[in-house]
Amino acid sequence: MSVLRNDTLLRALRREPTPYTPIWLMRQAGRYLPEYNTTRSRAGSFMALATTPSLAAEVTLQPLARYPLDAAILFSDILTIPDAMGLGLSFAEGEGPRFARTTADETSIRALAVPDMAKLRYVFDAVIEIQRALAHAVPLIGFAGSPFTLACYMIEGGGSTDFATVRRMAYARPDLLQHIVDVNTEAVAAYLGEQITAGVDAVMIFDTWGGLLATDQWRRFSLAPMRSVLEQLSGATARARVPAIIFTKGGGAWLDDLAQSGADCVGVDWTVDIGAARHQIGGRVAVQGNLDPVALLTDPETIANAAHAIIRAAGSSPGHVFNLGHGIVPLTPPENVAALVGAVHGHSNALSRQTSGV
């Protein structure tokens, strides 16, 4: 393991005391930053950016040059796996992801296979390049989509507000959904294993659409596959085990299941009472969250007040990682992010001094 200059995040994930609450933001590298948009237009497309390790490294570091964030997150996308399965991913300007081929009928679903990880070499090369550029300043978080969330995009062929086709399949053809999810589970485990081998310091599983399912379906099609991924990672890695964060958006009713998933930290969205969540599961796992990203569209004072409320509610015991409840929205003014990071560091540091009597 490398010696990090700022290992606050890793300590918080292990529920060890930290001098302040670490903060990083989902989608911290992205379209709200003018320098991201410049690099993206130089690359020509999102996929060109993501598949060129030097450019992926450049945009990963952009938010860290502006703000004293406590972690970097690999610049990539959860949909690289289905792309490597041959589904043909593209991102049109201003639109969501699109697959050239969907996986909604029995023939294409039965033909699915775990992709050769060599097809995703550009991601592992980006990890190596980012770690070189970071020079042990802060930890690097790797990530993947949950097997179920990947299935959502593969079946629908792109984004959707309700993923009705997928939810219908959960009732009408659970055997087919199970098959997609099983293939994805093996792919995600191999993919995160390779990211760990390449050098990420922590991993996060984004279960963005798990919250759309009924509880028994979520346990079967999303939680069980994520548990399997986490179990595979805890055994077979070349490096010492890295901490894992699990995040089911809309999963506030399932905190006990998430705390028992094998992850070290549970991410919560803004609908969750973070004080209650810390009380319920904070003795077992760290908790990450949970400011509504829309709060960043206001002003520094409103943002500071909202951040203070979360820090107070989360309490002074170790194991809170500050984050948004979902990704930063593109209209976010960059100076508001500076206000948030400053407020989180300042307020949590003052609180920990009070508590420890320093």
* Catalytic annotation present for 27: yes
HSE, side-chain direction, 13 A CA sphere, residue 227:
12
Question: DSSP label at 294?
Answer: G
Given candidates 15, 40, 220, 345, which one binds ligand CP3 under the rule CB under 6 A?
A: 40
Q: Which is nearer to ligand CP3, 43 or 255 (CB)?
A: 43
Rounded CA-CA distance 283/124 in Å is 34
Shortest distance in whole angstroms from residue 356 CB to ligand CP3: 32
Chain-centroid distance, C-alpha 210: 14
Nearest residue to ligand CP3, by Cβ distance, number only = 208
Q: Which is nearer to ligand CP3, 2 or 38 (CB)?
A: 38
Residues 183-222 that bind ligand CP3 (CB under 6 A): 206, 208
> Where does residue 236 rank: exposed (0-12), middle (13-18), buried (19+ CB within 10 A)?
exposed
Rounded CA-CA distance 92/143 in Å is 23
Residues 151-170 that bind ligand CP3 (CB under 6 A): 159
Residues 71-110 that bind ligand CP3 (CB under 6 A): 73, 75, 77-79, 91, 96-97
User: Could you say which of 11, 40, 220, 227 is catalytic?
Assistant: 40
Alpha helix positions (H), 28-173: 34-43, 46-51, 53-66, 80-82, 106-110, 121-134, 147-156, 164-172
Given candidates 9, 12, 23, 26, which one binds ligand CP3 under the rule CB under 6 A?
A: 26
- Structure-block tokens of residue 244: 């894992």
- Structure-block tokens of residue 65: 């040059």
Amino acid at 195: Q
User: Could you say which of 27, 66, 173, 312 is catalytic?
Assistant: 27
Is residue 311 within 8 A of residue 344, CB to CB? The reply is: yes
Shortest distance in whole angstroms from residue 298 CB to ligand CP3: 20
Number of residues lying near ligand CP3 (CB under 6 A): 22
HSE, side-chain direction, 13 A CA sphere, residue 84:
24
Shortest distance in whole angstroms from residue 159 CB to ligand CP3: 5
Cα-based angle 162, 168, 174 (whole degrees, multiple of 5): 130
* Catalytic annotation present for 175: no
Residue that is written with structure tokens 């810390």 in the block: 278
Q: Which is nearer to ligand CP3, 91 or 122 (CB)?
A: 91
Q: Which is nearer to ligand CP3, 85 or 351 (CB)?
A: 85
Shortest distance in whole angstroms from residue 312 CB to ligand CP3: 26
Given candidates 20, 32, 143, 270, which one binds ligand CP3 under the rule CB under 6 A?
A: 143
* Catalytic annotation present for 15: no
* Catalytic annotation present for 42: no
User: Could you say which of 14, 31, 66, 219 is catalytic?
Assistant: 31
The candidate with the shortest Cα–Cα distance to 184, out of 257, 115, 107, is 115
Q: Which is nearer to ligand CP3, 84 or 351 (CB)?
A: 84
Beta-carbon contacts of 143 under 8 Å, excluding residues fewer than 6 positions away, are 73, 74, 76, 78, 203, 204, 205, 206
- Structure-block tokens of residue 33: 């930053």
- Which residues are at the interface with ligand CP3 (CB under 6 A)? 26-31, 40, 46, 73, 75, 77-79, 91, 96-97, 143, 145, 159, 206, 208, 327
Q: Which residues have a catalytic role annotated?
A: 27, 31, 40, 77, 153
